[in-house]
Amino acid sequence: MSSRILKTGLVQQSCGDSRDDNLATSVAAIRALAAEGAELVVLQELHTSRYFCQIEDPALFDLAEPIPGPSCDTLSAVARECNVVLLASLFERRAPGLAHNTAVVFERDGQLLGRYRKMHIPDDPGYYEKFYFTPGDLGFKPIDTSVGRLGVLVCWDQWFPEGARLMALAGADVLIYPTAIGWDPNDSAEEQARQRDAWITVQRGHAVANGLPVIACNRVGHEPDPAGGPGAQFWGSSFVCGPQGEFLARADGDATNLRVDIDLGRAESVRRIWPFLRDRRIDAYAGLTQRYLDHQQD
């Protein structure tokens, strides 16, 4: 099987209160990665602001913006300037009181090719996303670009194998997860390690089960809780793995850029020896469309 190299860059950054400063940090990283040869650059979830979902505050809807909109203008311009396909993540204002957590993809010429609206929305302590984000309504559809078919999902989607599978079945060349996930600083070191390891493991499992490379790009840094709680310590640890779950690149917990080459052609050879899509029992999976199967004894 022939190689098809995707020259990829990930931007793992910390975010402050200034949208302009956060975007400037992203733009500088995009330029740096393009100078290193990146053809696809991936930004983390909600990279234009702090992770505001630690609290429920109607005033924070002011952070939302239309797509296209001001951030899209900046990102489109840098994609065109750097001749890269760019994946970004925005708080989309669709209508008054209607907003989404939305990933957008720009082509090398700056064209907005498509968007993915986050499908799975968490509602946990420190992650009150259901207050802000309406669940996505665009389905699990890869976005076609000049560098391949991108199976774009977002953060909490990482824990659900169904989304990864549907992207694979729709012909995605790679699964990509812009992310904002971290620890409660009050958790023990052992619990923190378990959480991070679970996050890495489940995504490597998506790579293995679907015979596809996976890109996970997370944010870093401590972000205070406006309500006075302990805040969130985002753990970084962005990584890229191949179609057998093998690590191709890994970051630690600091702000950094990752440049990694992904051989998209390996998926073909891996799927020939591990033909999971061939052996799926699609005649026996009807129960997957149910919330829960209540088993009763005969």
**8 and 259 in contact (C-beta within 8 Å)?**
yes
CA–CA gap between residue 3 and residue 264 (Å, rounded): 7
Angle between helices 189-210 and 161-169 (to 10 degrees): 20
Does residue 82 have an active-site annotation? no
Nearest to 245 by CA among 288, 193, 201: 201
Residue type, 23: L
Nearest to 252 by CA among 270, 265, 233, 239: 239
Tokens 């609290």 appear where? 55
Q: Where are the beta strands (DSSP E) in 190-238?
A: 214-218, 220-223, 232-235
Residue 2, H or E segment: none
Distances (CA, A) of 200 to 190, 220, 240: 16, 15, 10
CA–CA gap between residue 143 and residue 145 (Å, rounded): 6
Annotated catalytic residue: which of 39, 45, 129, 223? 45
Q: Are strands 239-241 and 232-235 parallel, antiparallel or unpaired?
A: unpaired
Annotated catalytic residue: which of 7, 39, 118, 223? 118
Annotated catalytic residue: which of 53, 82, 155, 217? 155
Tokens 């020259």 appear where? 7
Helix locations, the chain, DSSP H? 19-35, 70-82, 161-169, 189-210, 266-273
**Residues noted as catalytic:** 45, 118, 155
